[in-house]
Structure 1
């Protein structure tokens, strides 16, 4: 067993590994020798900075094992490229999959980190040729990269958006096929940043439209839409989270305990009808 550490003066969540997987998950890892529900997703599913992530809360509400297979900063690439994780998820009675954005996919224009998919690694020659004036060494995160490129004009960016949306659909379809469609899609609906602060990429999941989600839903058990808000917008939420002094800017963008309770309640209610 180990801990996720950030160098920000705090010991973070205890983590563990399941057999056959190279990824870190919230500890303790649950036994795999009895029926279970698997939860796949990114930082929200993992439950950064909260004592009780929503998969754990669903476990208690339903009284049956719920495996938290959320990985901090994970996207579709993280999930698909870990065979051990895919085997564990495919063996579940049912999977709850948190929808992730399209920005965190390796593609013909740039590469992302294989496990922390929000990290930008390098441009491809195709992207360098499309934006010869850009110094790509300045970027460490995909959202910063894409926001900057979009700011240089919508015409060139259109090709990147189309590429990312195409790959999101392709990889989502592949993931759902591996899981044989026994998947409830979880859409955590944040306030539309584009309407409030002028964020050109809009709200999470970034670059993923409702029509794309509707298409994915036809290959699954459906979509559960849960409105959520980051901790900074909920009175008292930051005080109920655990983070170091240098982690506050990150923690305020995450979901607090109240939101995890809301998600758990709605997920448990839907699962009761599906199981």
Structure 2
């Protein structure tokens, strides 16, 4: 760590019942988000790795940002934040400032689901949480009771259970909105942004999750945003529950179900390796 850097351990939603905080986390002035600790000095040049749970490196000792820092011998701030989605990326002014002050930003492409749109609103920081359906969604699905829906994945599952073409109307809105918001964000940033499309596979068929189709980032969506990014990298990795990495992860006795849905240490190494050449190409 550089002079002035410090380790901050915070008990928050990162504590998940194992008897102690899952990871040390930190905050930077101006942002309401909790990032992977330790807090790093902003007085010397840095690259910024921005994203959600995978960038944060949940349940692993060395996330890809730390590996990349060692491989490239360049300071790399881990600005991964749990439950960070599209709305958080576009709405947190402190995060925007951290990115603008970086030499380079590696941005993990956010989930399509974690965004407020014509059909539902999400929490401003925990973008996995649904605050409320809109009247448009209620009108589209008048027979569905949304009272007990609190998470976007639950909402998508509930809509798919209707087994008709209405779901594609919602999916198309999410895809369209995703492209508009990402393009707008990248257009505002003067910092070069390397877009990381990290495909986290939770099923042998990558298009399925729990036996249902997921609304994923399409090639057409990526083409529309790659033109306003400085670089691009794509990596696919199975979660530890579908690989042999679970035993190499760090989690408490009650955390295994969550750890099984995260990528492991070997996957983080693969992500770092895939980023080395694109980062060097931007120098």
SS at match of 2:125: coil
Shift of 1:103: 1.0
Match for residue 156 of structure 2? 146
Q: Which has more helix, going by share of residues?
A: 1
Give 2:229's match in structure 1, choosing from 206, 216, 220: 220
Q: 2: distance between equivalents of 1:223 and 1:106? A: 26
Q: 2: distance between equivalents of 1:196 and 1:32? A: 40
Match for residue 200 of structure 1? 213
Match for residue 267 of structure 2? 259
Instruction: Report matched runs for 1:41-80 at 5 Å.
Output: 41-80=51-90
Q: 1: distance between equivalents of 2:180 and 2:25? A: 31
> 2:100·2:191 contact (CA, 8 Å) conserved in 1?
no
Q: 1: distance between equivalents of 2:91 and 2:124? A: 8
Q: 1: distance between equivalents of 2:109 and 2:247? A: 27
Shift of 1:245: 2.1
In 2 relative to 1, CA 77–25 (structure 1 residues): closer, same or farther, beyond 3 Å? same
Shift of 1:34: 1.4
How much is the aligned-residue C-alpha RMSD, in angstroms?
Answer: 1.7
Matched, 1:94 2:107: no
Shift of 1:195: 5.7
Q: 2: distance between equivalents of 1:196 and 1:108? A: 24
Shift of 1:246: 2.1
Matched, 1:187 2:200: no
Shift of 1:128: 1.5
Per the normalisation by structure 1, the TM-score is 0.93
Match for residue 273 of structure 1? 281
Matched, 1:230 2:230: no
Instruction: Report matched runs for 1:120-159 at 5 Å.
Output: 120-159=130-169
Shift of 1:53: 0.9
Per the normalisation by structure 2, the TM-score is 0.90
Residues matched between the structures, number: 270
> 1:16·1:28 contact (CA, 8 Å) conserved in 2?
yes
| 1:86-106 Cα distance to aligned partner (Å, 9 max, x none) | 011011111101012211111
In 2 relative to 1, CA 196–21 (structure 1 residues): closer, same or farther, beyond 3 Å? closer
In 2 relative to 1, CA 112–148 (structure 1 residues): closer, same or farther, beyond 3 Å? same
> 1:54·1:263 contact (CA, 8 Å) conserved in 2?
yes
> 2:200·2:263 contact (CA, 8 Å) conserved in 1?
no
